[in-house]
Structure 1
Amino acid sequence: MEKSIIYVVSDSVGETAEFVIKAALSQFMSENDYDLYRIPYVENIEVLRGAVYHAKQLGAMIGFTLVRPEFRQFLIQEARDKQVECVDIIGPMLQAMERKFQKKPKEEPGLIHKLDEDYFRRVEAIEFAVRYDDGRDPRGVAQADIVLIGVSRTSKTPLSQYLAHKQLKVANVPIVPEVDPPSSLFDLPAHKCIGLRINPEKLNGIRKERLKSLGLDDQAIYANVDRIESELSFFDDIINQLGCPVIDVSHKAVEETANIILNMINQPYWDYRDKQINQ
């Protein structure tokens, strides 16, 4: 028994048409009973004319996703004239949506794959934030779009994750007096580092609550006021060396801080050089 032949024609990759066609074919035959040939990235009428010609010669049918109306109309008419079975997979949906939304489609091939690329960039950024969280691997500093620096409990980790969902690769480095920051931090352009400042009283309260949640004594050195002052002083020394912008996160939600950062990276760094972000 000869295999059935189906041409998949598209002005983009053709994956959508192929998926739909295979789903329909599964209702009639197994994968061994047909051959499917994809003709992607159609950019001119002659390719469509050739597809119909070969389909006619081989007794094949055509399934297509073409967002450009002139291509759809030509292929449908050419197939009708040559008596080739031809199915428009996306056209009726586009026409229905045009009526429903009262607006013209963009008629740009491949937009769904641009969305896919956005998705994969987001996943990559999230994985990056996890891998280079809390200074666990200093190699991330040089690879990051943004490096957040601050003492413990300044929301570095949740902020890194939030920004990762905006497709930014973020590393964060804890500032601890007993540990020198990675040397690569001082090799970065100043605007790629962002310091997260917090006032001592706020930090003291946050750390005490953290200790309680862990079932520990809230009088531990971690929440000691003198210790906190020492850490913040060391933080200021590092910031002065880096010359980077600083955001006061004492009374800000993660989303609020993230929006400030997003605004900062979309404007010239020098607008912020001599200014602390305390609003």
Structure 2
Amino acid sequence: MGKKKTSKAEATRPAVDTYTLHLIAGATGDLLHRLASVAATQFTGIKIKLIDHPMVDDLDKLQETLDDLEGDRPIVVHALPHSSAKTLVRNECVTRRIPHYDITGPLLDFLGDCVGSLPDNDLSRLHQVDAAYQNRIEAMEFALAHDDGLGLPTLREADIVIVGVSRVSKSPTTLYLSSRGFKVANVSISPQTGFPPELSKIKKRTIVAFTTQPKRLQEIRAERLEYNGVASSDYDNLQKVIREVMETEAEYRRRGYPIIDVTNRTIEQVAAEILEKLKLSPR
């Protein structure tokens, strides 16, 4: 077989620069990862691979982590509270000519200048962060066990219950809120199943109802069926969808559920409105 010819577009396409960003944290490193993830998206034509090194809470672990750094063009960003750990990273990286940045140092210095005091650099206080992280893990496990009508017998344990017809972003919103520490369940409402009786047994102030513009919902459902290779049906019939949305909204109002229209809105926007309507403080 002959060699595949390289197209002109492929020949002129610039090579992608690749970097490996090592994130070293004394605790879970969850916040550090989030910040780095946002920053890494802002460079066109650059691929930045993130490698997490959590729970590096003593100098021996830190030295082992630094010895094992790998990947293309390594970069180190760390969130280590103790001055000796900061010094070790700086010395190692300078010797090996690895770019490095202390994400907590400038903030601690700034706050110290503001309050006129030096930080304690107490690693044990990071366990408070670990507890918050564990709460988020438990909330996400709860969300998975209560997705799309699962776990109805323990619905009362939820901080938030999202109800809505099929394909109105209940599950993505549930996972987003659970990642912030809320125990969230979602229940799908359909003409066939109606409203589960368990909804009448929980506190109404935990329930929020999703709706959307019928035409947009019909488009989303049609795309879903096409993706799965399924023929069109009542599920994506526009007139049936219009009727389904109207009847469901009427029942929402009868039950006194706060209603959120999710049409063309981001998950973050919808989540913020949920917390506002249910009078919950962000976590």
> Do the two structures share a fold, i.e. TM-score over 0.5?
yes
- Report what 1:139 is aligned to: 153
- Report what 1:201 is aligned to: 215
Distance 1:234 1:135 in 2: 20
Moved more, 244-253 or 148-157: 244-253
Alignment of 1:16-165 (within 5 A): 90=82, 92=84, 97=105, 101-102=109-110, 103=112, 104-105=118-119, 110-165=124-179
Secondary structure of residue in 2 paired with 1:135:
coil
Indicate whether 1:170 and 2:184 are aligned: yes
What is the aligned-residue RMSD (CA, Å)? 3.2
- Report what 1:249 is aligned to: 262
Distance 1:206 1:99 in 2: 45
Which consecutive unaligned segments of at least 5 residues does structure 1 have? Answer: 1-15, 25-88, 269-279
Report the structure number with the largest CA radius of gyration.
1
Distance 1:267 1:18 in 2: 34
Match of 2:272 among 242, 259, 262: 259
Distance 2:197 2:271 in 1: 26
TM-score, normalised to structure 2, is 0.58
Does structure 1 retain, via aligned residues, the 8 Å contact 2:204–2:257?
Answer: yes
Which consecutive unaligned segments of at least 5 residues does structure 2 have? Answer: 1-54, 64-80, 91-104, 113-117
TM-score, normalised to structure 1, is 0.58
Give 1:141 shift: 1.8
Moved more, 109-118 or 199-208: 109-118
Distance 1:189 1:110 in 2: 38
Task: Count residues in correspondence.
Answer: 188
| Distance change >3 Å, CA 99–CA 187, structure 1 → 2 | closer
Secondary structure of residue in 2 paired with 1:133:
coil
What percent identity do the matched residue pairs reach? 30
The residue type paired with residue 275 of structure 2 is: L
